[in-house]
Amino acid sequence: DAGVTQSPTHLIKTRGQHVTLRCSPISGHKSVSWYQQVLGQGPQFIFQYYEKEERGRGNFPDRFSARQFPNYSSELNVNALLLGDSALYLCASSSDGGAGGNNQPQHFGDGTRLSIL
């Protein structure tokens, strides 16, 4: 079975531009989460979506938004890019994630490496 797939793998943008990152979860997984990993740090939680609804949001500005589609794939959008947005963006999927879920392990994709010039 295919794992979590993310596209593109690498992306170069300039300050002020907008970017869309895409994620396809493992088949059967209904929850998708997004994380930002700056070089040398652990991943930081951005969003969680379950059954197309936002279930959680980390401490990120409103320039960051996301959505989940009926097929459970997801997009992360970042507007007005800043140099500090340069990072590896990781998508993770799990089989649960709704209220009362039992925290099934999140399985991560290879990430999208975003560089801002």
Partner 1 sequence: AQKVTQAQTEISVVEKEDVTLDCVYETRDTTYYLFWYKQPPSGELVFLIRRNSFDEQNEISGRYSWNFQKSTSSFNFTITASQVVDSAVYFCALSEIGGGADGLTFGKGTHLIIQP
Binding site for partner 1 (CB under 8 A): 33, 35, 40-46, 48, 50, 55-56, 58, 88, 90, 92, 96-103, 105-111, 113
The CB-of-16 to partner 1 minimum distance in angstroms stands at 26
> What three-state secondary structure class fits 28?
coil
Measure the CA–CA gap between 59 and 11, rounded to whole angstroms.
23
The CB-of-109 to partner 1 minimum distance in angstroms stands at 7
Measure the CA–CA gap between 104 and 115, rounded to whole angstroms.
32
The CB-of-7 to partner 1 minimum distance in angstroms stands at 14
Measure the CA–CA gap between 39 and 4, rounded to whole angstroms.
22
* Residue with Cβ nearer partner 1 (14 or 53): 53
Is residue 60 within 8 A of residue 87, CB to CB? The reply is: no
Is residue 108 within 8 A of residue 4, CB to CB? The reply is: yes
The CB-of-63 to partner 1 minimum distance in angstroms stands at 18
* Residue with Cβ nearer partner 1 (40 or 70): 40
Q: Give the pairing of strands 74-78 and 64-68.
A: antiparallel
* Residue with Cβ nearer partner 1 (16 or 56): 56
* Residue with Cβ nearer partner 1 (80 or 90): 90
